[in-house]
Amino acid sequence: MGDVEDLKREAGIRACQFVQDGMRLGLGTGSTVRYTILEIGRLVSEDGFKVVGVPTSEATRELAESVGIPLIPISEAGRLDLTIDGADEFDPRFSLIKGGGGALTREKEVALLSDSMIVVADDRKKVEVLGEFDLPIEVKSRHWSDVSTAISSMCEVRVSLRGGELAPYTTDNGGYILDCEFGPTITKPGDLEEKLLSIEGVVQVGLFVGLCDAVVMATGSGVETIVNPVGRLS
């Protein structure tokens, strides 16, 4: 376990190769990108980098503030130079499933504002076809049951309310999360995203298509950077 954590730390730090002085950065959420945020804090405090960050969750905001990264709210961000975030799965076309940490709506909003996006992950997140990890969907709290029924009938998948009805998980936006068990069948994530977003009450879908430009991946033998050949960094 220690080796895995060491590699995640190395990957998180390695992602900072894309960070330049003066950038406006989207700061992601997750256990691996946490090391990226710690390294950005070091760049600010020790190397004098002048960057500003936009956090994708309250947990990230608290961490970034604790290491001295200047922050601005997303409403004031405008365009961002770069977002560094994690992923629950990524496929050979650099499409992602995100939302295991519950921050998918802010994560996507920040990613869409960014000129490029780097994902930090370990090789367990690399899949041939998306969907082994349950797809998170944020919904308006008052509509969760209707949305669950609509998704179940539309896609014939098992849908569960994160946390259960007695104590549902609530996002930073006040929404609920539905976790949808597709299995590894999501071969056209863009089409599925569009279909799910058309359901009344859906706030955001944890499919990120056409946004990831590179993956910094921790493997058992070290850290590998995989650049999207049709991305914005190639």
Catalytic site residues? 107
* 117, two tokens: 């996006």
HEC readout, 60-111: HHHHHHHCCCCECCHHHCCCECEEEECCCEECCCCCEECCCCCCHHHHHHHH
Contacts of 172 (CB under 8 A, 6+ apart): 57, 58, 102, 103, 106
In terms of Cβ atoms closer than 10 Å to its own Cβ (0-12, 13-18, 19+), residue 50 is exposed
Nearest to 76 by CA among 110, 39, 120: 110
Nearest to 57 by CA among 82, 27, 79: 27
> Nearest 5°: phi and psi at 164?
85, 165
Sheet containing strand 89-90, strands side by side: 89-90, 96-97, 207-208
Nearest to 160 by CA among 132, 184, 137, 191: 137
- In this structure, the number of other CB atoms found within 10 A of the CB of residue 112 comes to 13
76 and 107 in contact (C-beta within 8 Å)? no
